[in-house]
Amino acid sequence: MLARNETIFKWALYAAATALCFLAQGAILQRITIWGVIPFVYPLLAAIPASYEKPVSAAIFALVVGVFCDLLLPGAFPCFYTLLFPLAGLCASLLSQSLLPAGLLCSLSGTAIAFLMTGVFHCLLLWAGGKAAWGSGLFLTLREFCVTAPLTVPVNLLYRAVFRRTHLYD
Amino acid sequence: MKNFLRDHGLWVLFAAAVISVALAVMSVFSTTSSPLTNAANTLAAPFRAAYTAVAGWFNDKQNYYKDTTALESQNEALRKQLAEMEETVRQAEAALEENKLLRELLNLREQRRDLSDMEAAYITEHTVTNWTSSLTLNKGTTHGVEVNDCVIDATGALVGIVSETGVNWSTVLTLVDTDTSLGAKVFRTDDLGVAQGDFSLMGQGRLRLNYLGADCQLLGGDLVVTSGLGEYYPSDLVIGSVEEVQLDDSGAASYAILKPEVDFDSLTEVFIIKSFDIVS
């Protein structure tokens, strides 16, 4: 159990790492197109730190990431990521607590779940708007995941470093 | 000493007088300087040379310091001048850019007198997600930009529609985005339809012209423009050209696949139509 100031310090470090990833996405990643898609790091930011934390904290952190994504990214549905990312965070946290130990494999699995949820929800929205495109949507999700998956390694290292720095005596 | 002068003072005075007279007589009859003068100056010469050298050294140092100080101040002044000139060049380059943009705007205004109020803007960010096709502009509500304003390029071709605005920014959904939908007309045949973004075509940079009659006679390359019906958007803004025509699933209507006139990836500057006159 961490003391209050240690808890504040930990979440401040998580926030700083997340801000760094937001910066990398805006400054570098969204200018790169591979296989017709740009690497999309935001689902990683909901899933990977969540895999190191307990479900409630993970969901709250992912919710905050989702709110920021909705504020910064254009989209037809105003609270798309706010609704979706807490679920993705919760899934990643539950996965690390029950099936896979927190680490690269767990992060990759959590990321895959986050991308799948995002893609399916996008397709659902298109379908609800009378513009169903399940095939194209799921293929885009697959390409998006494949292009972004290698970034799981540095992002996982970053959050693992934060976790280890703040849990020295665990 | 006192006793010596008192005892021999007279003799000393006499000897001095004799030496003086002798020197005077010798200087009168000699063609060169007197031996005593010569001896005194010969002895003084090295000292004179030494202190001249020292004085020269000091003089050199003083001059060097003066020169260095002058050069430093001159260098400083030149640096300042260079910085001012560089600033002027930068301002001139910015003015040239602005001039080019304003000329294009003026040209566009002369071509399209119905577009009464336009705002030039730069694109600060291209598409940020794989699920939308959008642009972010550097003009917002402080410049009078509103949601649903049309955005065109320098040739008057439609780029997209403003979907969100902030104080100094606005987001434009391009023609190929799935949320874009606007009344369109085929320029050659006057066939009416609705130009809509389609998710399957968005990745290829294409859109659909829906709700065409099953018997429409469109040809590849036919120009499609905004219809202006409903007076929601200005009329006759170029959307793109027909690539192919297909019957829809029901077989009762057909749709065309359009290639936008604008290359969204290479765009850097656009014009926002803030208000327009209805042309009847």
Q: What's the CATH code of the domain at A127? A: 1.10.1760
Is A113 domain-assigned? yes
Contact A126 B198 (CB under 8 A): no
Is A23 domain-assigned? yes
Give the residue on A whose Cα is nearest the Cα of B174.
Answer: A74
Among A77, A84, A125, A136, pick the best mutation site for testing chain B contact (most B Cβ within 10 A). A136
For residue range A122-138, list pLDDT tens digits in order.
Answer: 999 889 888 888 888 99
Is A49 domain-assigned? yes
Residue B179's domain comprises 117-275
- Do B30 and B131 lie in one domain? The reply is no
Distances in Å between the Cα of B109 and the Cα atoms of B12, B44, B159 are: 118, 95, 17
Contact A137 B132 (CB under 8 A): no
- Alpha-carbon distance A48 to A154, whole Å? 11
Contacts of A139 in chain B (CB under 8 A): none
Is B83 domain-assigned? no
Domain total for chain A?
1
- Alpha-carbon distance B118 to B169, whole Å? 16
Is A79 domain-assigned? yes
Is A170 domain-assigned? no
Question: Does the interface predicted TM-score (ipTM) exceed 0.85?
Answer: no
Is residue A140 within 8 Å of A118, Cβ to Cβ?
no
CATH number at residue B144: 2.40.10.350
Question: Nearest by CB to A40, which of B130, B164, B173?
Answer: B130
Please count the residue pairs, one from chain A and one from chain B, whose beta carbons lie less than 8 angstroms apart.
51
For residue range B75-92, list pLDDT tens digits in order.
Answer: 999 999 999 999 889 888
Q: What sign results for the dihedral spanned by CA atoms B20, B21, B26, B27?
A: positive
- The set of residues, in sequence order, having a beta carbon less than 8 Å from that of B146 and lying 6+ positions away, is B162, B165, B274
- CB-based contact, B165 to chain A, within 8 Å: no
* Residues of A within an 8 Å Cβ radius of B: 26, 30, 36-38, 40, 72-76, 122, 126, 129, 131, 133, 135-137, 140, 143-144
Is B130 domain-assigned? yes
The chain-wide mean pLDDT, for chain B, equals 84
Contacts of A117 in chain B (CB under 8 A): none
Is A97 domain-assigned? yes
Question: Nearest by CB to B199, which of A40, A75, A131?
Answer: A131
Is B179 domain-assigned? yes
- Do B125 and B56 lie in one domain? The reply is no
Is B180 domain-assigned? yes
Kindly report the nearest CA distance between residue B60 and chain A, in angstroms. Answer: 59
Contact B203 A136 (CB under 8 A): yes
Contacts of B132 in chain A (CB under 8 A): 73-76
Is B9 domain-assigned? yes
What's the predicted TM-score (pTM) here? 0.68
- Do B141 and B271 lie in one domain? The reply is yes
The chain-wide mean pLDDT, for chain A, equals 88
> In the predicted model, what is the mean pLDDT of residues B258-267?
88
**Rama region for A122: left / alpha / beta (φ>0; ψ in -120 to 50; rest):** alpha
Is B242 domain-assigned? yes
Is A168 domain-assigned? no
In 3D, which of B110, B196, B208 has the Cα closest to residue B161? B196
In 3D, which of B250, B240, B196, B202 has the Cα closest to residue B218? B240
**pLDDT value at position A170?**
59
Is B271 domain-assigned? yes
Domain total for chain B?
2
pLDDT at B104 over 80: no
**pLDDT value at position A169?**
64
Kindly report the nearest CA distance between residue B83 and chain A, in angstroms. Answer: 30
Give the residue on B whose Cα is nearest the Cα of A139.
Answer: B200
Is A81 domain-assigned? yes
Is residue A63 within 8 Å of A80, Cβ to Cβ?
no
Is B69 domain-assigned? no
DSSP at B277: P
Q: What is the 3-state secondary structure (H, E, C) of chain A?
A: CCCHHHHHHHHHHHHHHHHHHHHHHHHCHHHCCECCECCCCHHHHHHHHHHCCCHHHHHHHHHHHHHHHHHHCCCCCCCHHHHHHHHHHHHHHHHHHHCCCCCHHHHHHHHHHHHHHHHHHHHHHHHHCCCCCHHHHHHHHHHHHHHHHHHHHHHHHHHHHHHHHHCCCC
Q: Which residues of B246-260 are buried (b: 16+ CB within 10 A; e: fewer)?
A: eeeeeeebbbbbbbb
> In the predicted model, what is the mean pLDDT of residues B147-157?
88
For residue range A20-73, list pLDDT tens digits in order.
Answer: 998 898 888 888 888 889 999 999 999 999 999 888 988 999 999 998 888 888
- Do B44 and B156 lie in one domain? The reply is no
Is residue A64 within 8 Å of A30, Cβ to Cβ?
no
Tokens 């949601």: give the residue: B147
Cα B197 from chain centroid (whole Å):
37
- Do B56 and B134 lie in one domain? The reply is no
Q: pLDDT exceeding 70 applies to what percent of chain B?
A: 91
Residue A61's domain comprises 4-161
**Domain termination residue (choose one: B42, B60, B78):** B60
Residue B238, classed as helix, strand or coil, is: strand
pLDDT at A146 over 90: yes
Question: Nearest by CB to A74, which of B128, B198, B199?
Answer: B128
One-letter amino acid identity for A50?
A
- Do B145 and B22 lie in one domain? The reply is no
- Do B168 and B268 lie in one domain? The reply is yes
